[in-house]
Amino acid sequence: MNMLVDGEWRTDAYEANDDDGSFQRQQTTFRDRVRDDPDAEFQPEAGRYHLYVSYACPWAHRTLVTRALKGLEDAISVSVVDPYRGEDGWQFAPEKEGCTRDHVRGADYLRELYVEADPDATCRVTVPVLWDKREDTIVNNESEEIMRMLDTEFDDYATRDVDLYPEGYRDEVDRIIDEIYEPINNGVYRAGFATRQEPYDEAVDNLFAALDHWDEVLADQRYLAGDRLTEADVAMFTTLVRFDNVYHTHFMCNVQYVREYDNLWPYLRDLYQTGVDDRREGTPDGRTGSGARRDPGERLDEANGEERPVSEATRDSGVAETVDMDHIKEHYYTTHPDVNPHRIVARGPDLDFEAPHERDELPGSPPADLAAASADD
Ligand SMILES: N[C@@H](CCC(=O)N[C@@H](CS)C(=O)NCC(=O)O)C(=O)O
């Protein structure tokens, strides 16, 4: 496995599995916070912070969904790495479809940013990264915390009135995020990276027990925390949307597809369609998702005084536009040679995320600013 050790890139630094064959996720290192507080070191500002993401990564995807739902595209710029992660770690490949250059530092590899933030860094080089363009440093590289900061600290710069951590729901949101992390969000990795039968069996059993449970819960309520769309849904979404195309096959989570669940599948489509604005100019055939997406760094170019098309300037994006299934599939199937040595990308299944979901008949609705833009309306 590859990581930084004392600021040097090493390709032999640590093993990700315990002796018993269980996958161990490493702790995240940069844990500062942007706070809407005059005494805070990192205060919210438009144009000051930059996100480094991979469209493939479910953790980074949480931050992209939150940015889109809140309408923070003009306030927080984004660079997208190559979905293929090789020996050199995440790298920028602006010539590849859906990828961008490093808009801030012009780096070739993400690890350069880590070393710039801490010349003696000893850590994995992961996405997402929240970068401070003023101090030239990493604020935070833990998705749950970045999601929370974007959600709660940047309201002055958000173009939509959307609160994904509402008063009265906070304990429940925190509880659910915790509860789904181990069996579901991390559980698919525990199954896929297990090197012995027992830890694999345990991960798969726990994963499907948790999915069965939430499928039941979602029979009677629109969202995980009840009638409000929250960060818990964002955390669940980025795992579910990858499930049938990747985790089911590549990580052997093949007891059942998400599309076979009575409630999880319509719930997934509901979330996918949230914030999609059918009044906005899209692709000529009305496609959403990766087909309608553009380089998210364009907004940064504008912040730097470069031009972008006027028609793009007022567009808020929805969840669909944060999903790039090509990047997702390329990343997983080609980046884990231990799991898939020939790097063949599995073809199916072809899912219709835009099919009607009828979840609006259940108690609950998205925030008004998102409901107005819903594709189901
Ligand atoms: N705890 C981190 C985990 C992030 C993470 O593991 N990202 C993966 C991509 S899905 C990564 O960048 N891995 C690179 C590596 O481990 O070297 C978070 O939730 O932000």
In which band, very low, low, confident or very high, does the pLDDT at 298 lie, cut at 50, 70 and 90?
A: low
Q: Stretch 114-128: mean pLDDT, rounded?
A: 95
Count the Cβ atoms, other than its own, within 10 Å of residue 309. Answer: 10
Q: Which residues contact 139 (CB under 8 A, 6 or more apart)?
A: 30, 32, 33, 34, 42, 49, 130, 131, 132
Q: Which residues are annotated as a binding site?
A: 90, 124-127, 142-143
Give the residue, by CA position, lying nearest to ligand 1 atom 6. 126
Give the residue, by CA position, lying nearest to ligand 1 atom 19. 143
Instruction: Note the pLDDT of residue 374.
Output: 52
Dist. CA 363 → ligand 1 center (Å): 35
Count the Cβ atoms, other than its own, within 10 Å of residue 227. Answer: 12
Q: Which residues are annotated as a binding site for glutathione?
A: 90, 124-127, 142-143
Which residues have CB under 6 Å of ligand 1?
A: 2, 28, 57, 59, 124-128, 141-143
Q: Is the model's pLDDT at 375 over the cut of 50?
A: no
Indicate the range of 231-235, 296-300, 324-328 predicted with least confidence: 296-300
Helix (H) or strand (E) holding 250: helix 248-250
Domain ranges of the chain: 170-278+349-371
Q: Is the model's pLDDT at 283 over the cut of 90?
A: no
Q: Which two tokens stand for residue 137?
A: 């440093």
Dist. CA 143 → ligand 1 center (Å): 9
| Beta strands in the chain, from DSSP E residues, in sequence order | 3-5, 8-10, 49-53, 77-80, 129-132, 137-140
| pLDDT tens digits along 61-87 | 999 999 999 999 999 999 999 999 999
Dist. CA 375 → ligand 1 center (Å): 32
Q: Is the model's pLDDT at 314 over the cut of 50?
A: no
Q: Is the model's pLDDT at 189 over the cut of 80?
A: yes
Give the residue, by CA position, lying nearest to ligand 1 atom 5. 126
Give the residue, by CA position, lying nearest to ligand 1 atom 13. 126
Q: Out of 9, 59, 87, 131, give the residue to mutate to test ligand 1, the one with the largest number of ligand atoms within 8 Å of its CB.
A: 59
| pLDDT tens digits along 16-49 | 667 777 777 666 689 999 999 999 999 999 999 9
Instruction: Note the pLDDT of residue 308.
Output: 41
| pLDDT tens digits along 325-337 | 999 999 999 998 8
Is omega for the bond preceding 128 within 30 degrees of 0, making it cis?
yes
For the entire predicted model, the pTM comes to 0.91
Of ligand 1's atoms, which has the minimum distance to the CA of residue 56? 10
Dist. CA 156 → ligand 1 center (Å): 29
Q: Is the model's pLDDT at 196 over the cut of 50?
A: yes
Of ligand 1's atoms, which has the minimum distance to the CA of residue 58? 10
Q: Is the model's pLDDT at 312 over the cut of 90?
A: no
Q: How far apart are CA 91 and CA 107, in angstroms?
A: 8
| pLDDT tens digits along 77-116 | 999 999 999 999 999 999 999 999 999 999 999 999 999 9
Catalytic positions, written as ranges: 57, 189
Instruction: Note the pLDDT of residue 309.
Output: 38
| pLDDT tens digits along 143-187 | 999 999 999 999 999 999 999 999 999 999 999 999 999 999 999
Give domain 170-278+349-371's CATH architecture: Up-down Bundle (1.20)
Of ligand 1's atoms, which has the minimum distance to the CA of residue 1? 17
Residue pair 316/277 in contact (Cβ under 8 Å)? The answer is yes
Q: Stretch 324-352: mean pLDDT, rounded?
A: 94
In which band, very low, low, confident or very high, does the pLDDT at 236 lie, cut at 50, 70 and 90?
A: very high
Dist. CA 376 → ligand 1 center (Å): 34
Give the residue, by CA position, lying nearest to ligand 1 atom 10. 57
Of ligand 1's atoms, which has the minimum distance to the CA of residue 144? 19
Exposed/middle/buried for 219, CB within 10 Å: 0-12, 13-18, 19+?
exposed
Is omega for the bond preceding 58 within 30 degrees of 0, making it cis?
no
In which band, very low, low, confident or very high, does the pLDDT at 12 lie, cut at 50, 70 and 90?
A: confident
